[in-house]
Structure formats: structure tokens, C-alpha cells
Structure 1
């Protein structure tokens, strides 16, 4: 069974497709899912920070369960930030920043991640480009560098909004540039596949100096430079209204429904209401994109657009086509099996 069974248009070319990747696409490479990340972060808190967390949760009538890792890191972040906003107590601000540091450390602590699945997917997409000038968009909330490393391994051109040499600076215009050659007045686009990567929540390779954002190898970023990562949250509205995140969402919205008409999601929970509200739902409702979501469990975050004819969920135990459930099993919710479809 191939991807054409689910996304028929892909049989005629890949120029109009895009991918939406979440934590599930990095799990088999060695990175934690939300539950694992939550346990790692909370387990690394000092007794004082843990007491501050318990105080914030208690104010909401909640308590952290060590065995289940609930509430998860996204809910914890929302609660801590809300509690700091209401109380203005410095210890809740400090806890928020400590959580951010521990999330970063959890990602950076994964040594030698396995990029086999990412390389295999990109190699298959490269073959499907038939050496024609082709762009495929990747939208992700992941902080890791798996796609960047896989592009280098496969030998693909990568555009991620940064330009420069060893230290690169963010420039939104990079996403709209096309490489090629000129001969007199004639321009010939560069042959082959270009990966256009939009990291909606930042990366372990990004850092901020004053009001500018730069990119460098993670081990080259000195401690005093603030890494540019949005804290895992259910609602990220405030942070994503600032640069560069506002520009990344702007570019994403301009692409969806235009250069990206078929959005294929993998490992994405749709638990982030901001991404759903700004990018996904409006483009589904307008008919700008068709969504093909490969997931273990049908996401509750898209329940209100479930019946749209341009929505397909391929779940572990069923398919949901335009709101209609069809019995059947699929292992394509696992990223390695998803890659095999191509």
C-alpha cells in the first residue's frame, strides 16, 4: 500500500504537498514524546522549584502525578505562566525559565540521534522530484535538528529562513528565494528538490541577541545568549506574536492553500490550540488545503472540522473520511511505517 491510496494527487507530483511534523516523528530517533519530556523535566526540578510547581498546580485544584506524568509539560507551562501573571511573584517566572532550560537540555542530551527515517523519506521525495525544480514544505513544532541533518546526508538544498556562513541570521525573504542560473535575460531554476523548513516554535540551534535572531551549531551557542524556543504549551499566543514566530506563522499562512494544497501530518497531536486556530482550521474550512493525518488516535483538537470532505484521519484502528468512520487497522501512525508509504 502506497501513499497514493491516501493522497491521490501525489502520484502526479509533489510540488503542491507539505508536511506537518510533531514529536511523534522524532520519537524513533531517540527523542521523548510529551509524556517522557514531562517526566524528565519535572524529575530534574530542585526541591524548591518542585514546591513552587506544586503551589501553582494546587491553586488550580491539581497535583502532579509522577507515575503518569500528568498534567503534561504543556499544561504545566500554561498553569505556571498564568500563576505568574496573576501573582507577579518572581519564583513563578524563575520556574518558567527553569522549565525552558530543562526542555532544551532534554533535547540536547540525545546524543547521536538516529536519522534513518528522515533520510529515507527525503531520498524517496528526491526520487519523486524526477530532478525537476521542486519545493516541498515542512512545518514542524519540533526543536531538534533531524531534518537539517538528513538534508545534509541526502545532499538536498535546505531553506529555513536563515542566511550567512558559520553564524546565520534570520531573514524572512529566504523562504521566497529560488536558486538558479541566468543566461542573459533568461533564468533557469535549479534542478532537483529543495526542502523549505519552517520551525514554528524555534530550535535548539537558534538564539536571540537583542532584537535579532541567529542560528549556529548548538555547541557554539554561549550560555549568555538566549536560545530561541517557545515553551511547550497548549496556548502559545503571546510568544508567537513576537519575532521571528509571527513571521514564521505569516509565511506558513501565505504558503498553505497556495504552494501547499495537500498537507500530510505525522506524529502531530493537534493539541496546540494556537497552531490549530491560526494555520490548520482556517485553511481546512476555506478549502485551501486537504489534510491527511496519520495518527494513533483521532485528535480531539480538530473535532469541529471532522466532517469536512477535505479531512482524512488514518488512525491505528480506523479511518475517518469526511466524518465517516471506516473500520480497519493501520500501523502508519508510527513514523517508520509512514515513511514506507512513499
Structure 2
């Protein structure tokens, strides 16, 4: 597996990277940040895939966006986004901002010269595509998925938990995705997930639950604090959240699915109160009670001493998250490891092709910043294979085996 890895201004090979990851996962606090790319292996879509589907399925809507000046005509041509004819993706954040402002302006200038009803319908179609991309697998909503349905998410959770030592805090999973890949993966292998919601039949949001944990009451000493749980913060919302009379609830997948299916089929409009859709104004939405609390937990984690966060499937396209990551570098013991498929080399031309935020971080040459690239080798499904297997931490067991071999004189003794 060929990779490109840069820690500060030092290149690392695959063995160095594995050793670095093993050491980082032993720190007091560990977390991962999952972006859209982390759900692709589970059936999700990247923003590029979402846009290609949109202009293919709703060509008339895309053409109206072009005619009204929201996008260029070239943005409506599917061939412009194929591999053999690459082109910069339209900024969907800016597009949704412009559409929202146009809707307000057209409503204010009644009688509108343009069809306001059509504009609202077109916006709803774009938002519907965002929701549809997060459904992943319709069959999984009706019945609990098997553990092999989300193998890479399962492996990620098991290896994060396996690296925890007695007395250390459970790992965190921060994600910008609306889907249920993490929850389904955890449930399929018996890992408890703290989402901030408590209750059985009426699960309401209670942020104090993030300060609680589990312990084995039958164990003694530090063994009481063995880890079999993760904390999950869905920074942009979830498909299963619902707001009723100002109270946020988390629905079971089978309960939420009937309405979601109607949204995906275009029968019902999207409820924007629960999800933070990809637009530049989204960090204004994150000041609310639920999202604001989750971002506070994210910021709080980044400020903890002896912490490591691994970024995967995240393209540095969210300015509000980028700001928090930049500010967190003031924490002298924070380690950041970012897997970026587009990071293919350290030549000036290759660095120049990256996003401005990535270039800014690489230019710092900080040994606390590690970037891992190499095209498909840096995808989420390959990233989890770089994480050390829990058995690699059984150093005492290996030490005992070596002693037995030495005593018995049998090189093949186990």
C-alpha cells in the first residue's frame, strides 16, 4: 500500500505511520472526525457524487439555476464532472445561500417577476438530494443491519476502543454526516453509543449525559473502568432527530423512516430545523441549543491535554470546523492526523493544488500535524487498516511467549 505521509516537515513511510498511530491512540484522549467521505464505503455520497446525481436527475432545475445566474451553464453539464474531464465543483454552500436570499427577496418584492413557487420547489429538490444521499441503505431502516453491513465502521470503533487502557476516557466520534452508519455499526457488535439523548421510549437531548460513563461493578481496581462505549457527536444533525414544542427527541430508525421515505420520494418537504445543510451560513445555525452544545463538546475535546484527533473523509470544506481546528493548535499537546486522498506529494505544484486551509496547515511544519495521502490509499476503508489491532498492545503476552521460548529452547513454542 503506497502512501504519502508528512509529519511537520518530515516524510514518514508506512511503518513509521503505523508506529505513530499506535502511539497516538495511547494518549489520554482520542477521537475521530468523520466527513462525507467516511460514509462512501457504506453507500453514502461525496458532495461531488451528490451534485452529479442532482444535475442528472433534475436537469430542468439545474438549468433554471443557470438561467437565473446562480450557477454557470457549464455546471449543468454532467460530462464536465467525469474523470476524464475534471472541473471545479460548484460551491453548494454558496449556492444554497444565494437561493435562500433570492427566495426572501422575491417574496418581499410581490408581485414577483419570477415564479416564487417554482423556486421553492427547486430548493426543496436540492435539499432532498442531500437527505437521500444520507439514507445509505433502505433495508437497514426496517430491521437492524448485520455486523458485516458496515465492516469499516465496526473495525474503526473496535480499534479505537481496543487502544484504551484502564482508567482512560472512552473515545469520541465527531461527524458531519446525517446518516446512522456509526450507530448501526456500534449496535451490531454490542458497543454502547452516547449520543446526548437519554430515555427509552421518549429519548430527549440531555447534554449532561456526555459527562457520564459505564463501569463494571463486578471488577476491582482500574479494571472497573474498562471501555466498551463511545461518545458520538453529530455536529450537523441527524436523520432521526425531531423537534416538538422546543424539545429535541431522537427517534428509532423504524419510527423515523416513514417520514424520511416521503422526503426522499419528494412527497414531503425537508425539515431544516434538525439538520445543518451545507451552506456558508450554517455556522449561524450552530448557536442553537443542540448544535451549539455539540460544537462546545468538540471544542472542549480539542482543548484537553494529551489528545489526538484523526480526520478522515473530511475535505476541510467547513469553515466553522476549520476555525476550531486552527484555534486548537494553541493546545501544545494536541496531535492532529488528517487522511486526505488529494494529498499526493510534497512538490510545490502538488501542494499548490490543495485547498487553502490545507496549504496553510502544511506551511506551519508542525510535528503535531500529520497529513496522510496517496489517492485511494487514504480513503476511509484503508485508513482503518492503518490503525493498530488491539492484539498489538498485548506486549506482556508477547514478553511471556518470548520467555517460554527461551526456557524451552523451542523456537516454535506458543
User: TM-score of the superposition, structure 2-length normalised?
Assistant: 0.68
Instruction: Please identify runs of 4+ aligned residues in structure 1 that moved more than 6 A.
Output: none
C-alpha displacement at 1:59, in angstroms? Answer: 5.1
Post-superposition offset of 1:121? 1.8
- Runs of 5+ unmatched residues, structure 2: 1-13, 82-88, 109-115, 141-148, 260-267, 344-353, 388-414
> Which among 303, 314, 317 is matched to residue 268 of structure 1?
314
Say whether 1:208 aligns with 2:243: yes
Q: Counterpart in 1 of 2:337? A: 292
**Structure 2 residue corresponding to 1:335, chosen from 367, 380, 402:** 380
Aligned to 2:135: 108
- 2:252 corresponds to 1:241: no
Distance 1:82 1:305, change over 3 A: farther
Rate the CA distance shift 1:101–1:251 in 2: closer, same or farther, 3 A: same
Contact 1:235–1:273, Cα closer than 8 Å, also in 2: no
1:219-260 alpha-carbon deviations (Å, 9 max, x no partner): 413648947211122451222222311111112111212167
Aligned 1:1-342 pairs, distance under 5 A: 1=14, 4-7=18-21, 9-10=23-24, 13=26, 15-45=28-58, 47=60, 49-50=61-62, 52-56=64-68, 58=69, 64-67=75-78, 68=80, 70-71=89-90, 73-88=92-107, 90-91=116-117, 92-108=119-135, 110-111=137-138, 114-129=149-164, 134-180=169-215, 190-221=225-256, 223=259, 226=271, 228-258=274-304, 261-277=307-323, 279-287=324-332, 289-298=334-343, 299-300=354-355, 301-308=357-364, 309=366, 310-316=368-374, 332-342=377-387
Q: Secondary structure, in 3 states, of the residue corresponding to 2:231?
A: strand
What is the deviation of 1:20?
0.8
Matched-pair contact (CA < 8 Å) for 2:42–2:150:
yes
SS of alignment partner, residue 64 of structure 1: helix
Rounded to whole Å, the distance in 2 between the matches of 1:88 and 1:133 is: 55
> 1:200 Cα shift?
0.5
Q: In the superposition, relative to structure 1, how do residues 14 and 150 fare at CA in structure 2: closer, same or farther (>3 Å)?
A: farther
CA distance in 2, matches of 1:98, 1:242: 26
Q: Provide the rounded CA distance (Å) in 1 between the counterparts of 2:359 and 2:105.
A: 31
Once residues 207 and 158 of structure 2 are traced to their aligned partners in structure 1, the CA distance between those partners, rounded to angstroms, is: 27
- Structure 1, unaligned runs of 5 or more: 318-330
Give the structure with the higher percent helix. 2
Larger relative CO (CA 8 A, sep 6+): 1 or 2? 2
* Offset of residue 270 of structure 1: 0.6
The CA deviation at 1:15 is 3.8
Say which one has the larger Rg: 2
- Which is strand-richer, 1 or 2? 1
What is the DSSP-based 3-state SS (H/G/I as helix, E as strand, rest coil) of the residue aligned with 1:232?
coil
TM-score computed with the length of structure 1 as normaliser: 0.81
Shift in Å, 1:105: 2.5
